[in-house]
Amino acid sequence: MRGMAVLAILLTAAGCRPEAPKAPAIPLGEARLAVPGGHIWSKVSGTGPGVPLVLLHGGPGFSSFYLKPFEDLGNDRIVIRYDQLGGGKSDTTSDTTIFNIRHFVAELDSLRSALGIAKWHVLGHSWGTILAVEYYRAHPDRVETLTFGSPVFDADAYERHAAELLATISDSAQRAIRRAEATGKFDTPAYQHATEEFDARYLWHHPVQADLDSTMATMNQGIYVYMQGPSEVTIIGTLKHYSATALLPQIRVPTLLTVGGEDEVGPDLVKSHAALIPGSRYEVFPGAAHMTPWDARDDNVRVVRAFLRSADSTRAATR
């Protein structure tokens, strides 16, 4: 110990300072992390020097396959893609006691802690935007920026918009949906065909077939129905009256909101939410449905890349 102290004095006298210890490198590749209820799967990719980015998929109960395009940002920064507990490559579960926002926020922060990241960019899509904004509410000091893709910050307003969109699909599909909602029987072929017609117009136009197949094969229907409902148009789960509109004006980090021009969420609704967030950016991808990472792949990656680079530059300039 005395020798180290003498060395430090000599280095200081010579105009040199010992280098500060470097933070441990974030391990690349796939991993599994124990969380309450099971293990979650994650994949860390990229080698760029920018602040790391974490991707929060939609659902709930779905997976991150459709967020793969954002791994293209790896030449700028570390990118963390993971599957929330219950879906995708993570452990499945039927435990409804953890089908709630609080669990998924804690799960996300467990991943951050395990990777040794002090602060990261957070990108959420659809249900993932609820998780992102609630994570910010709980841990604002751990969030560098927020990107909200097709956000759902007002479930009642979303449901009203979905009802308007229903008027644009076939009469037979509309009748099937009304019948199912009146009887509570959502497992009929007629209802399934009707919701598939809606999805084809407003959920996705150009899916990556292999990733869509993987998504549907690993979907946790139990979580989706419990928190959302039987489909994108019938909201009867625990998120039915969710609202984050009171929180949006309190956001104090750079924020980007994106939406497809033919998105089930609706550009007007997303624009109204962008107006509540001080200094936020708003971007529409014409012709894209809800799954903009598929329908507007290159434009979506380009816009997010520019936003994150700008935030990193501002951060560096103020250090």
Catalytic residue annotation: 126, 263, 290
DSSP the chain: -HHHHHHHHHHHHTT--PPPPPPPPPPPEEEEEEETTEEEEEEEE---SEEEEEEE--TTT--SGGGGGGGGGGGTEEEEEEE-TTSTTSPP---GGG-SHHHHHHHHHHHHHHHT-SSEEEEEETHHHHHHHHHHHH-GGGEEEEEEES--SBHHHHHHHHHHHHTTS-HHHHHHHHHHHHHT---SHHHHHHHHHHHHHHT-SS--HHHHHHHHHT--HHHHHHHT-SSSS---STTTT-B-TTTGGG--S-EEEEEETT-SS-HHHHHHHHTTSTT-EEEEETT--S-HHHHTHHHHHHHHHHHHHHHHHHHHHT-
Buried-exposed string 45-76: b where 16+ CB fall within 10 A, e elsewhere: bbebebbbbbbbbbbbbbbbbbbbbbbbbbeb
> Distance (Å, rounded) from C-alpha 252 to C-alpha 283?
19
Strand partners, 202: none
